[in-house]
Amino acid sequence: MTRVLYDLCGIDEGLRFSPYCWRVRYALAHKGLEVQTRPWHFTDKEALAFASHDKVPVLVDGDEVVTESYEILRYLDRAYPEAPLLGEGLAETRARFFKYYAERSLAPAMLRTIIMDLLNAIHPDDRAYFRETREKRFGRTLEEFHSPAKGLAQLDAALEPLRAQLTDSDFLDGDAPAGADYLVFGNFMWARCVSSADLVSNADPVHGWLERMLDQHGGLGRRALRVTDIEGAYR
């Protein structure tokens, strides 16, 4: 049986930057599960028709087809109970808060900082779609939305609870990473793959955590292709 993850790619098939797909790739590695990733890009909706879904990640695990990153983590905990990602009861309910913290606090701040880099990194066929959907969402042009100064200030404020947690322990989930770490770290992989922007100073406790996360699971994150690695791609 081949386990398959549909994974967002950009200007290069090897450039994988979806924060949601990164959550899943780390989660699979956490469980010790092999996966074959299949590159997909935004406008290739037909390729996902089998899943009745129009976004990645989509995980195909034997007969199971699972969509949405958080649901995939839950599925992995059910199907492979060892080494819990989210856990159960209070642990699981609290894990959801990390999902929302990543999506509602960190992501908007990061996006404001890296959106032009993101536009540059995505597949050329996707750019019109990306511009149209995002401009509709923001109510202004990408160029108007783009403001690294505002984004970084917003991010600096949003990182406060993360800093405190990472002063107490090496990982958000304690001595070793688990679901909370992956839910949040996905966003940093997103920024890392498409941009050279320095989001966190190296004196920040978050910086040490990012370095540790990049090294996890055989350097899964550190080995990932960045747009800056592709000749002529980073403008």
CA–CA distance, 67 with 168 (Å, rounded to integer) = 34
CA–CA distance, 173 with 182 (Å, rounded to integer) = 10
- Which residues are within 8 A (CB) of 187 and not within 5 positions of it... i.e. 6 or more apart? 19, 102, 106, 107, 110
Instruction: Write down the least CB distance from residue 92 to a second copy, Å.
Output: 9
By the 8 A CB rule, do 183 and 98 touch?
yes
Instruction: Write down the least CB distance from residue 120 to a second copy, Å.
Output: 27
**Residue 98 contacts a second copy per CB under 8 A:** yes
Indicate the angle between helix axes 19-30 and 205-219, nearest 10 degrees.
60
Figure out which of the listed residues 33, 53, 87, 207 binds a second copy, where binding follows CB under 8 A.
87
Figure out which of the listed residues 121, 178, 199, 206 binds a second copy, where binding follows CB under 8 A.
178
**Residue 31 contacts a second copy per CB under 8 A:** no
**Residue 89 contacts a second copy per CB under 8 A:** yes
For a second copy, the closer CB: 50 or 97: 97
For a second copy, the closer CB: 41 or 99: 99
**Residue 160 contacts a second copy per CB under 8 A:** yes
For a second copy, the closer CB: 90 or 149: 90
Which H helix or E strand runs over 203? none
Site string for a second copy, 140-159 (x = CB under 8 A): --------------x--xx-
For a second copy, the closer CB: 36 or 93: 93
CA–CA distance, 206 with 228 (Å, rounded to integer) = 22
**Residue 83 contacts a second copy per CB under 8 A:** no
By the 8 A CB rule, do 193 and 17 touch?
yes
Whole-angstrom CA distances from 43 to 9, 13, 47, 131, 215 are 11, 14, 9, 12, 32
Residue 106, amino acid:
L
**Residue 70 contacts a second copy per CB under 8 A:** no
Instruction: Write down the least CB distance from residue 163 to a second copy, Å.
Output: 8
**Sites of contact with a second copy (CB under 8 A):** 84, 87, 89-91, 93-98, 100-101, 103-105, 154, 157-158, 160-161, 163-165, 168-169, 172-174, 178-180
